Amino acid sequence: MLTRLLIVDEAFVTRGRGVLLSPRFTADGRQGPLRVRLRRPDGQEREARAEVEVSHTRGTLPPYAMLRLPELTVEDVPSGTEVWVVP
């Protein structure tokens, strides 16, 4: 069963490969590489490799993270794209 991780507000380029996606999310133990399925607003789907990057710590609360798609470009991930974790 797939689990929706986020709906993309924005994909943007930073240092490093690929693109980072916002919004950030609570990591809840997710770390390292993942396989994800992207469902674009136009109905197209594709799988991609993703990396969870923990960028903010919050004391005893789970840290905030962002998702990097190292093999894709900003054009590959338009706003409104759903990101689902593939088990």
Give me the domains of the chain, ranges plus CATH numbers: 3-85 (2.40.30.10)
**Total-model pTM:** 0.87
Give the pLDDT means over successive 10-residue stretches in the chain (87 positions): 94 91 83 90 97 78 88 97 95
Query: How far apart are the C-alpha atoms of 36 and 50, rounded to whole Å?
Result: 7
Query: How far apart are the C-alpha atoms of 44 and 38, rounded to whole Å?
Result: 8
Give residue 69's pLDDT.
97
On whether the CB atoms of residues 49 and 68 are closer than 8 A, the answer is no
Q: List, in order, residues 6 or more apart from 12 with CB less than 8 Å away.
A: 19, 20, 22, 74
Neighbours of 37 (CB within 10 A): 16
Query: How far apart are the C-alpha atoms of 19 and 44, rounded to whole Å?
Result: 19
